[in-house]
Structure 1
Amino acid sequence: MRIGASIVLIALGAILAFALAPGLIPFIDQMLVGYILMAVGVLGLIVSIIMAFSAHRHTVVEHGPDTVT
């Protein structure tokens, strides 16, 4: 999951949890679904940021020319 997808999940979860009237979607606890989506979005955002920073770390090893006498 990338950073943009994580932000979309957080926004969608916030809309379900806080902006819609309770009971608008029958047979679904939309507040719980909203909280779950926000939690998954925050977790995905944290993982994405950690992976983005760790991807830039790499080691370059230079070997000198082999000389045979």
Structure 2
Amino acid sequence: MSIGAGIALFAIGAILAFAVNVDVPGVSLDMIGYILMGAGFLVFVIGLVLMMRRRQTESVTHVAVDPAGGERVTRNSTSTSGDQGV
């Protein structure tokens, strides 16, 4: 979601900075375009970092002995981005 928002901000900023030739008193559309382009780039990079961080997985193996039957019990659990599954 944030990667798409970053691209959209960058595109809107580029349109304002390079394609719009309207003079608005007291407002610099070029500067607003450059600010939006910078914000879009920043949101895009943050989105990439968060996406890479979410893809990390952690695998844990628990080994115990069942007291009733004396059998060895192995439990595997894998967590991805905070969620746990067995």
TM-score, normalised relative to structure 2? 0.70
Residues 14-33 of structure 1 correspond to what in structure 2 (within 5 A)?
14-23=14-23, 25-33=24-32
Q: Matched residue pairs, number? A: 68
Matched, 1:9 2:9: yes
Aligned to 1:40: 39
More relative contact order in 1 or in 2 (CA 8 Å, sep 6+)? 1
Q: C-alpha displacement at 1:67, in angstroms?
A: 4.8
Q: C-alpha displacement at 1:58, in angstroms?
A: 2.3
- The structure whose residues are more often helix, as a share, is 1
56-65 or 35-44, larger mean C-alpha shift:
56-65
Identity among equivalent positions (%) equals 35
Q: Kindly report the root-mean-square deviation, in angstroms, between the aligned alpha carbons of the 2 structures.
A: 1.7
Aligned to 2:76: none
Return 5+ residue gaps in structure 2 as ranges: 71-86
> Could you tell me how far apart the structure 1 residues matched to 2:38 and 2:65 are?
55
Q: Which runs of 4+ in 1 moved over 4 A?
A: none
- The structure whose residues are more often strand, as a share, is 2
> Could you tell me how far apart the structure 2 residues matched to 1:63 and 1:49 are?
33
Return 5+ residue gaps in structure 1 as ranges: none
TM-score, normalised relative to structure 1? 0.86
